[in-house]
């Protein structure tokens, strides 16, 4: 529950806001107190000033406040209505000043009981805030009757010009007469031009015969601005009380009167910031601790797995001794299987590919075929035209020769075949063998066909080839057609 101190001509009174509404309170509460004045000493002053900026502007306005309201510390430069050009919005040449000269009454009310003052506002200022709403007419009388008197505020161009506290009355005719008296004063002081125009009146209250009295004097009543337009308060002074609790612009009390309240707010803000920092720090620390805990749990699990593996290895030791097989021998066996057996070429595929090359000539038959995995001395035991011997080099590893086979092929020709045809067939077979995937010819009789042709005696002669087949993944053997063979008949032309 919030408390408000109302300071008027008849004295001061504490009011407290609860769920039922506003009720009178006998003494000041422990919490903060919002103060609202409704005194005749409230006044507005408009100041014409040069276009100044920054500290020069603040110093000039402070000197003018002291000059216009020298006897009171309860004074304030009000924010102007931001309209006009860019420079007029940035540094307006018109400034509105507000002051309350009833220093003794305010200090007596504030010092009567110990309190924490949240701020001090004036009724004239709150009424001016209501009248400055964009939906209201630019020239407007605001009238609010109350127990302390009849408060009248006049605004021109949405800026308060005059405020006065007339004697309290509940008669509509007398209330309208006070408004007319205020209008005549403004005309006499040339604040407004005397004319037959009709002025708008915002009457915050109700009196019998008010509409007729306003119409007789050439005044028009207007509705209040939002949010009061759709929900009028039951008592307008209480509506101003609610507006004061929102701490609107126009606070008048100097800092020395509000030091306790400002200190509490700063302590609260500091505490909130400290709590936020502590929460963020705690979250970061908890995140790091969670990461450390996860790493520790993972380390424990790894150690448990290592211990389990050590136990299994210890249990497997007697089994190895029973079968006279050591783990090192098992690993070597697996390596040998992977490097030699698993990577060895398929002999059936190789034989099929070679038979397709050789079987293309009906006058040729295989007299000898040697097939072996490459290791040590080659199958041919000879080099052809300077080729390296098919022997494993000292620097060669097992994995480099794995899957390589050596083949020695010896063919016999029919004695009825002529020498040129035999030479042509030999060249075709050599070309067909060279097309096989991964083949490397080490001994090729095609290069000796000319000498054999000159020394041919017409009898069956043998011809041999020696070549290696390397390992080829997912390779399909090419169906080679020997040179000189007809691809349709697979025979000599």
Decide if pLDDT at 454 tops 80: no
Mean pLDDT of 387-401: 45
The answer to whether position 333 is within a domain reads: no
Work out the percent of the chain whose per-residue pLDDT is above 70.
82
Distance of CA 112 to the CA centre of its chain: 55
Please indicate, yes or no, whether residues 305 and 241 belong to a single structural domain of this protein.
no
As a whole number, mean pLDDT of residues 391-403 equals 49
Amino acid 8: pLDDT:
92
**Tokens representing residue 458 in the block:** 């017409």
Sequence-separated contacts (24+) of 306-314 with Cβ below 8 Å:
none
Mean pLDDT for the stretch of residues 177-194: 92
Examine the domain organization and report whether 376 and 462 are in the same domain: yes
Same domain, 439 and 298: no
Average pLDDT in the 443-456 region? 64
Question: Could you give the 3-state DSSP secondary structure of residue 477?
Answer: coil
| Residues 180, 305 within the same domain | no
Query: Are both 422 and 302 inside the same structural domain?
Result: no
> How high does pLDDT run on average in the chain?
82
70-107 pLDDT, tens per residue? 999 999 998 777 666 788 788 888 889 999 999 999 99
Among 221, 236, 257, identify where a domain stops.
257
Contacts of 160 (CB under 8 A, 6+ apart): 44, 96, 124, 125, 128, 131, 153, 154
Q: Is 476 a member of any domain?
A: no
49 occurs within a structural domain: yes
Q: Are residues 87 and 177 in the same domain?
A: yes
Contact (CB, 8 A) for 431 and 480 = yes
Residues 110 and 73 in one domain: yes
Residue 307 lies in a domain: yes
CA–CA distance, 181 with 179 (Å, rounded to integer)? 5
Same domain, yes or no, for 66 and 188? yes
Residues 19 and 88 in one domain: yes
Q: pLDDT, tens digit, for every residue of 186-221?
A: 999 988 998 888 999 999 987 788 888 998 898 999
Are residues 55 and 188 located together in one domain of the fold? Answer: yes
Is 103 within a domain?
yes
Which pLDDT does position 481 carry in this prediction? 45
Containing structural domain, residue 292: 268-325
Cβ atoms of 99 and 106 within 8 Å: the answer is no
Q: Which of 93-97, 298-302, 371-375, 476-480 has the lowest mean pLDDT?
A: 476-480
Confidence of residue 472 (pLDDT cuts 50, 70, 90): low
Specify whether 304 is located in the same domain as 371: no
The pLDDT of residue 317? 60
Q: What is the mean pLDDT of residues 98-122?
A: 91
Give 338's DSSP letter.
I
pLDDT tens for residues 216-271? 898 999 999 988 888 788 788 999 999 999 999 889 999 999 988 888 888 878 88
pTM given for the model: 0.57
Q: Which two tokens stand for residue 490?
A: 């697979």
Task: Say what the pLDDT of residue 61 is.
Answer: 92
Which pLDDT does position 450 carry in this prediction?
A: 52
In our burial notation (b when 16+ CB lie closer than 10 A, e otherwise), range 253-278 reads beeebbeebeeeeeeeeeeeeeeeee
pLDDT the model gives residue 475:
43
Query: Is residue 296 in some structural domain?
Result: yes
Tally of domains within the chain: 3
Domain check: are 251 and 344 in the same one? no
Tell which wins on pLDDT, 319 or 93: 93
């Amino acid at each position: 529950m919030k408390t408000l101190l109302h300071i008027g001509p008849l004295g001061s009174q504490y009011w407290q806001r609860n769920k039922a509404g506003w009720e009178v309170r006998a003494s000041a509460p422990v919490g903060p107190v919002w103060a609202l004045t409704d005194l005749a000493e409230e006044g507005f002053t408009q100041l014409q000033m040069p276009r100044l900026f920054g500290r020069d502007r603040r110093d000039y306005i402070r000197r003018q406040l002291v000059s216009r309201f020298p006897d009171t510390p309860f004074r304030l430069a009000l924010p102007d209505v931001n309209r006009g050009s860019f420079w007029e919005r940035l540094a307006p040449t018109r400034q509105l000043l507000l002051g309350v000269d009833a220093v003794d009454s305010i200090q007596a009310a504030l010092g009567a009981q110990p309190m924490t003052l949240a701020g001090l506002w004036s009724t004239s200022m709150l009424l001016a805030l209501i009248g400055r709403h964009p939906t209201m007419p630019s020239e407007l009388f605001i009238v609010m009757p109350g127990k302390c008197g009849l408060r009248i505020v006049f605004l021109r161009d949405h800026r308060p010009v005059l405020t006065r506290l007339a004697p309290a009355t509940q008669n509509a005719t007398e209330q309208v007469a006070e408004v007319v008296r205020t209008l005549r004063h403004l005309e006499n002081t040339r604040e407004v031009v005397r004319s037959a125009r009709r002025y708008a009146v915002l009457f915050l209250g109700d009196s019998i015969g008010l509409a007729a009295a306003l119409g007789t004097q050439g005044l028009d009543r207007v509705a209040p601005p939002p949010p009061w337009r759709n929900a009028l308060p039951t008592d307008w002074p209480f509506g101003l009380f609610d507006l004061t609790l929102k701490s609107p612009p126009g606070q008048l009390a100097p800092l020395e009167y509000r030091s306790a309240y400002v200190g509490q707010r700063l302590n609260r803000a500091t505490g909130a910031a400290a709590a936020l920092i502590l929460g963020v720090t705690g979250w970061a620390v908890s995140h790091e601790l969670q990461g450390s805990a996860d790493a520790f749990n993972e380390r424990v699990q790894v150690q448990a797995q290592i211990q389990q593996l050590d136990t299994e290895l210890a249990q497997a030791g007697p089994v190895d001794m029973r079968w006279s097989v050591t783990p090192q021998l098992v690993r070597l066996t697996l390596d040998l299987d992977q490097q030699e057996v698993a990577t060895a070429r398929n002999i059936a595929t190789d034989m099929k590919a070679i038979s397709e090359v050789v079987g293309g000539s009906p006058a040729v038959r295989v007299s000898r075929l040697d097939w072996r995995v490459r290791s040590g001395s080659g199958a041919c035991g000879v080099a052809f035209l300077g080729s390296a011997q098919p022997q494993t080099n000292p620097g060669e590893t097992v994995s480099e020769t794995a899957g390589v086979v050596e083949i020695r092929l010896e063919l016999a020709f029919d004695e009825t075949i002529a020498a040129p045809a035999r030479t042509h067939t030999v060249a075709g077979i050599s070309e067909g063998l060279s097309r096989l995937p991964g083949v490397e010819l080490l001994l090729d009789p095609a290069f000796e066909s000319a000498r054999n042709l000159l020394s041919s005696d017409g009898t069956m002669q043998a011809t041999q080839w020696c070549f290696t087949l390397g390992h080829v993944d997912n390779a399909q053997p090419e169906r080679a057609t020997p040179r000189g063979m007809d691809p349709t008949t697979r025979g000599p032309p």
